[in-house]
Each structure stands twice: as C-alpha cells, then as structure tokens.
Amino acid sequence: MARLDLNTAQVTVLDAQAHTARTLWNLLHEYYTFRQDRLASIKDCDAAIRQARREIDWMGQLPAQAAQAVLKTYRQAWANFLNPDHPAKRPTFKSRLRSRMAVDVPQARDLNIVRLNRRWGAVNLPKVGRVRFRWTKDLPGATKGGPAGRITGARLVKEANGWHIVFRTERQVPAPVCHLGPQVGIDRGINVALALSDGTAREHGDRLTRGEKEHLRRLEKTSARQRHARTPGQPMSKRLTRTYDQIAKTRATAKRRALDWQHQTTTELAGTFGVIKVEKLPIANMLKSAKGTIEHPGVNVAQKSGLNRKIAGEAWGRTVTLLEYKTRDRGGQVVKVPAPYTSQTCHRCGHREAANRDGTKFACHNPDCGWIGHADTNAAININNADGTAVSGRGDLGVTRSAKRQPPRAA
C-alpha cells in the first residue's frame, strides 16, 4: 500500500467515485436479492448497470471498468459466503459512514507506472490524471532489474491519512518445501503480547509517543466540549468534523505501527519454526459487553470494558491470520489447540487448579511438584504439548456449512 500525493480537486474526484461505487453495490444488492425472491443473473446485472449509466448522470463519475469491478466483487462475495470453507458473512448493504471507501482499477495497461526518484513514483488514474505515489518497494515489471512478474491492476483505498494505492501483482513463486524448523507453542496475552514455549517472548512498546498521547487526550477533550455545545438534531459543525478527523489520524498512526510490528514478528516466527501451535480462542465471545440488562445488571462493567479494549488492541485474530499464510508459504503449519485450562494447568505435573495462577506468576500447588515461573510461559508450554487441528489458509479443515449460510431462494 502506497500513499498518493493528491491535490484538492483530485481528492474530490476520488471521493465521488468511491461514493458512487458504494451506491452501485447497494443497488446491485437490492436488484439481486429483492426481485420477488428471484436471483438476478450476471447478464441482467450487467444490463442494469449499463442502463443506469445512460440514465443517471452521477453514475458516470465512476469509470466503466470500475463499475464492472463492483459487480465482479459483489458476485465473488456471494461465492465466498456459499463456500463452506470460507469465513465470509452474507453480503449486505454498505453504510455511508461505516464502509471503507475504495475504487478498483481492474486493468493495468493504462496505469503507466514510472519511478521518478528514490522516494516517489507516478501513475495514471482514470478520470483523475497523473498522480505521484510514495515508492516503498520495487514493483514487478515496473522497473529495470526489479522482481520478475507483472502488475495486473490496482485498488484505491481511503484511510484516515488520505488515499492510498494497492497494486495487484502476478509473479511465479516456487513451491514451498517442507519447513524443518522446530515446533513451538504461542500464548497470546495482554501483559506479554506473545509468549513462546521456549521461554522467550515477543513484545512491543507503546504505539504512540508521550507527546502523541497527550495530543490525542486534548483532541478527545476538545471533541467532548464541542459535542456538548452542539444543538441536538443539527448537522455536525466543521470544527467538530475537523477534530474527529485529527483523532482518526492519530489513532490510524497507532494502528499502522501495530500492524507493522505484527508483520515483522510473524515473518520472523514463520521463518524460524516449522510448526506453530496457538489456542483456538472465541475472541468474539470474549469481547462481549458485561453491562447485562436492567433486570440483571452486570458486574465490574468498567473493568470488563477496559479488558475488551486491550484485547481488541492486541488484534489476536489478525496475528494468527498472518501466521497461517506466512507459515504455509514457507512450508510450515499452524495448529489450533483447545483453549480451556491451559493457563491453570502445570505443564510439569499436570495439576490443574485456579489458584495456580496469580496474575503473571504461576506457582503449582501440587506439593510433589511446586514449579514456579511465568504464567504465560507455562500456558505456551501446555499449548505446545496439546493435540490440535491443523489449519489451512484462514479456516479449519472440515468445517461444516452453517444453517445461516444458505443462498436466497431461487425461482
């Protein structure tokens, strides 16, 4: 992903294209699923798109190839949902406020990518013109002496700090050979990000500096004051919108640093170990609120909310996703093992008791054992010793189709 250097007019054009693409998705979803329970064919959808482009002026803001890419992506979303081995959810409408703004450039022949200097390159974008982008790595077929392969297309994505371009590339990769590295168990936690069964750990520092944290605190304080002064039912002021944008940019900086650490760490782990064992955690259930209901209110709600924020900030699921495809590309394997009691069981004698663990300290209460050490390391050793299920890609092997994973009724 490379950052684009756009002027105000170019940003306006891309914003309009992204909103048009989102609207087209919603129109396709309505046309595809709400025609008296009769599924529309790809031919019917294509004809409807062409007619809409002729009759609706603002539909022309989106290039024709990008409109066809929306149709292709929508059809692929249904194919992923109907695949029992794919975790995709049922396609639905895209919200203006919660959906990610993006525009596809399906064909690479008109991009005309040129490297300008060590830091910048240039690319042609439909209806936008010549645009500079941040050159972060060599692209296949775009530079002399670069990696072999070719660019097949691109996707424009808007993040909190502006528009970015993601190039789709095609290159030949040799078949991975069996990874002969050692086996390791990994315990994901909050106090220690990744604890390994060999006694080592992978930790990260603060995602924001002290000055950035103070800046974020002041922005949140400003937004609270501006929200309090806002008249209910009135549109959001430009000052409040600008404050929200600044908060989003600061938080996006922390997210990029977290993702960078995850990529570097998982690459190192995938290259070192041949078999990596992790817990099969129900992360969605772990992040549920503890508020309860009026009749049965929850307890320790504030503490549970803080714990949920810390778990979400560590992005445990993304760590495993990165490990899965990186170990597979290197001939390794990721194995998921059952999660219960790995943190309460002594790895040396097998004695299980809740009192064994006290925060980050583990002390076995079995008088014949008495092992003392770091609780996360003990859990990682238990994970390494447990039997589990090998995973391929992003899902478990042999997953059955859910009752909710059914196509709409065809005529």
Span 326-349, pLDDT tens digits: 999 999 999 999 888 888 899 988
Pair (308, 213) in one structural domain: yes
Query: Could you tell me if residue 301 is inside a domain?
Result: yes
Pair (65, 158) in one structural domain: yes
Mean pLDDT of 188-199: 92
Q: Which helix (H) or strand (E) holds 249?
A: helix 238-272
HEC string of 34-86? Answer: CCCCCCCCHHHHHHHHHHHHHHCHHHHHCCHHHHHHHHHHHHHHHHHHHCCCC
- What is the span of the domain harbouring residue 221? 183-335
Pair (191, 167) in one structural domain: no
Span 76-123, pLDDT tens digits: 998 999 898 888 888 999 998 889 999 999 988 889 999 999 899 999
Using alpha carbons, select from 18, 4, 242, 295 the residue that is nearest to residue 122. Answer: 4
d(C-alpha 370, C-alpha 77), whole Å: 54
Please provide the DSSP assignment of 126-140 as one string.
TTTEEEEEE--S--T
Pair (198, 329) in one structural domain: yes
Extract the tokens encoding 253: 């900086």
Query: Among 172, 195, 220, which residue terminates a domain?
Result: 172
Taking CA atoms, 323 is separated from 27, 75, 97, 280, 326, in Å, by 37, 28, 31, 14, 5
DSSP, collapsed to helix, strand or coil, labels residue 326 as helix
Pair (304, 360) in one structural domain: no
Total tally of structural domains belonging to the chain: 3
d(C-alpha 2, C-alpha 163), whole Å: 9
Pair (323, 361) in one structural domain: no
Q: Please give the span between the terminal C-alpha atoms of the chain, in angstroms, as a whole number.
A: 43
What residues have CB less than 8 Å from 96, skipping those under 6 apart? Answer: 19, 22
Extract the tokens encoding 38: 């009769």
Query: Could you tell me if residue 344 is inside a domain?
Result: yes
Pair (48, 136) in one structural domain: yes
Pair (314, 351) in one structural domain: no
pTM beyond 0.85: no
Query: Could you tell me if residue 178 is inside a domain?
Result: no
Query: Among 117, 146, 172, which residue terminates a domain?
Result: 172
Q: What is the pLDDT of residue 67?
A: 93
Q: Are strands 333-337 and 275-279 parallel, antiparallel or unpaired?
A: parallel
Of residues 268 and 1, more confidently modeled = 268
d(C-alpha 386, C-alpha 380), whole Å: 10
Query: Among 172, 200, 217, which residue terminates a domain?
Result: 172
Span 306-326, pLDDT tens digits: 888 888 889 999 999 999 999
Query: Could you tell me if residue 400 is inside a domain?
Result: no
Query: Could you tell me if residue 284 is inside a domain?
Result: yes
Pair (210, 288) in one structural domain: yes
Q: What is the pLDDT of residue 202?
A: 94
Q: What is the pLDDT of residue 141?
A: 82
Query: Could you tell me if residue 397 is inside a domain?
Result: no
Pair (266, 355) in one structural domain: no
Query: Could you tell me if residue 19 is inside a domain?
Result: yes
Of residues 298 and 271, more confidently modeled = 271
Pair (284, 205) in one structural domain: yes
Query: Could you tell me if residue 303 is inside a domain?
Result: yes
Taking CA atoms, 344 is separated from 310, 380, 385, in Å, by 21, 12, 14
Pair (263, 201) in one structural domain: yes
* Backbone dihedral angles phi then psi of residue 249, each to the nearest 5 degrees: -65, -40
